[in-house]
Amino acid sequence: MLVGLSDVFHIPQLTVAVTWSREHALWTPKQWSCAMFSEESRFSSQSDSRRTLMWRAPGTRYHQENTNERNRYGGAGWPVWGQIILGSRTDLHVQSVTMTGHIYRDVILDQHVRLFRGAMGAYFLFMNDNARPHRENIVDECLQSEYITCMDWPAYSPDFHPIEHVWDMLCRRLVARQPPSTCLLELQGHCLMIGVKFL
């Protein structure tokens, strides 16, 4: 079955996404080198997709050889934050508690983003997604006080986000790692170790 853009986006979202794409299609590498992309992803000790693709004969869906027992809830995990910019990156940050606007400001913005903004100067653009902690008033006030310009980003458009490719590759390496992580502290260490080597 083919899925069209109108099946993924509602018409207003599609219009915004197409407009954004057209506005940025001709940006030069120099312009993109001033844009920092920030995003979080959750990593757990379980498989990332929990899907097993296989061919089976019609009518054999529930035969023993075609079933696989698994943990329905996927186990515990860590949210990991990272920021990338053309030719550079920040260190990964593993967050062990729920992210709030205060924590986002104090940890991500103050310890990572503000330093890059100082080095890049007035042309620096910051892109974070539309997650609730990123849109709190305290975060907006911090961005304004530090003269950090935020890039407009269409809602529900993760496919435009280049850091999603980083998360995908990091996740693949975590899943392929032998021996696999057996607890949250090992998972945290493996995320940071693979992130340092890979990124």
Across the chain, which has 199 residues, the per-10-residue mean pLDDT values are 44 75 86 87 64 65 67 64 84 82 90 86 85 88 91 69 78 77 76 66
Please list, in sequence order, all residues whose beta carbon lies within 8 angstroms of the beta carbon of residue 150, skipping any fewer than 6 positions away: 125, 126, 127, 128, 143
Give the model's pLDDT for residue 139: 92
pTM, to two decimals: 0.70
For helices 184-198 and 163-176, what crossing angle results, to 10°?
A: 120
- What pLDDT was estimated at residue 144? 92
Name 196's Cβ contacts closer than 8 Å, sequence gap at least 6.
Answer: 91, 92
